[in-house]
Amino acid sequence: MKTTPLPENPDAKSPAGADIRFIMDGTTGNMIHSTVPAHQTNRATVHASVSEFWYILEGHGEIWRDNGSEDSIVNLVAGTSIDIPVGTKFQYRNISDSDLKFICIAMPSWPGDDEATEVDGVWEPSAIVNTGN
């Protein structure tokens, strides 16, 4: 059994550009806390083998998802949950003056930054991504 506190400072940057804090990992998946600064637009990506569940904690953003047969843009506000099935193109952005914060659960556990491939999205990214990995 594990218990972990939320780290005070980010551990890394996601391949898309969010500040991430590692909060739990296990044999079937892992969980991170993501922060997107005010008015930041992250890169569009697609995952090769990982699906994700997100739960929005605070802020206001938007996410574009395209699974090949349909695409949509959804508001990200506190209390909203979304899924990103493996192979779904997605891009997200913070459209507010405060941080967008959410919990992300990856299944299976995130194998490394080669998992995410940059794709064309619907918005011009503003995030400068240097994952340091």
Q: What is the pLDDT of residues 82-113, one digit of tens each?
A: 999 999 999 999 999 999 999 999 999 999 88
CATH topology of domain 12-118: Jelly Rolls (2.60.120)
Are the C-beta atoms of residues 73 and 63 closer than 8 Å to each other?
yes
Cα separation, 96 vs 108, in Å, equals 31
**What was the pLDDT predicted at 103?**
98
Instruction: State which H helix or E strand residue 84 sits in.
Output: strand 81-84
Q: What is the pLDDT of residues 29-55, one digit of tens each?
A: 999 999 999 999 999 999 999 999 999
Domain ranges of the chain: 12-118
